[in-house]
Structure formats: structure tokens, C-alpha cells
Amino acid sequence: MFGFKSQTRLCTLLNSTYRDKKNLSSQVIYQYNCKNCKNSYIGQTSRDVEQRKRKHQNVFKGTGMSKIADHCMQNKHTNDWNYKILAIEPNDIKRVIKESLLMDIVPETTDRTIYSQKTYDLNVFQ
């Protein structure tokens, strides 16, 4: 019987050659702006942001819940569904904390009002 063991494994080749080295659309904090008013939604996701966008959009079809959809339906507003990635953070806890901090910073540095619900209420700037 003859055996051969290589130092290079198939999963290593696939990780470096055929997969994205860095998926910049997951593990992000993102922002949507309302077309009809100065309100914005800031959220975070560990999933791909396009997949999260579809979850927000599905609420208009009667599936799930979303603050974006609630705002649009209650005020008869529209969303252009163009998101802005505010930060990339692979660590879940740090991402949620950054999301809460950005909800405080964005209204102070822009003319937007944030209607998202904070996961953490941080009193860092008060």
C-alpha cells in the first residue's frame, strides 16, 4: 500500500483562491435614508447587507417586521433602498456598540434624525 500526505489541503486552496478574501458587505453597520423626510435608519447585521435589505423589503409583502417598513407605511413615505455602509466590524458585541454610538453621532454631524431602536443606550457623550 502506498500513501501520500500533502501539506496543502483542498479547503486551504479554496479559501485563498476561489473565495473572496474579505466580504465587505457583511458584518456591517449600515444606514438607509428616507426619500420624503430627514429621517434615517441605522442598523447592523452579521449577514450580507443585501440579504438584510430583502428582509426589510419583505415586510411590505406581509412577512416579518422592520422599522424601515413601519416608518414608510405609517407616514406614506418611500425608501430608495440605497444603503450606506458606515462601519465594518467582525466582532458582534463591538458592532452593536458601534451601531449605538453611530445613532448618537450621525444626528449631531448631519441634518438627519435617526428612528432606529438602540440595542444599547450608551451615555458616553452626555
Q: What is the DSSP letter of 3?
A: -
Domain layout of the chain by residue ranges: 23-114
* Cα separations in angstroms, 76 against 70, 84, 109: 10, 23, 27
pLDDT for the residue 17: 39
Q: Which residues contact 112 (CB under 8 A, 6 or more apart)?
A: 33, 38, 39, 40, 106
pLDDT averaged over consecutive 10-residue blocks of the chain (126 residues)?
Answer: 56 44 78 94 94 93 90 92 94 92 90 83 61
pLDDT for the residue 91: 93
pLDDT for the residue 126: 53
pLDDT for the residue 116: 84
Q: Are strands 113-114 and 26-33 parallel, antiparallel or unpaired?
A: unpaired
Radius of gyration of the chain (CA): 20
pLDDT for the residue 89: 94
CA distance 117 to 110: 19
Please indicate, yes or no, whether the overall pTM of this predicted structure exceeds 0.85: no
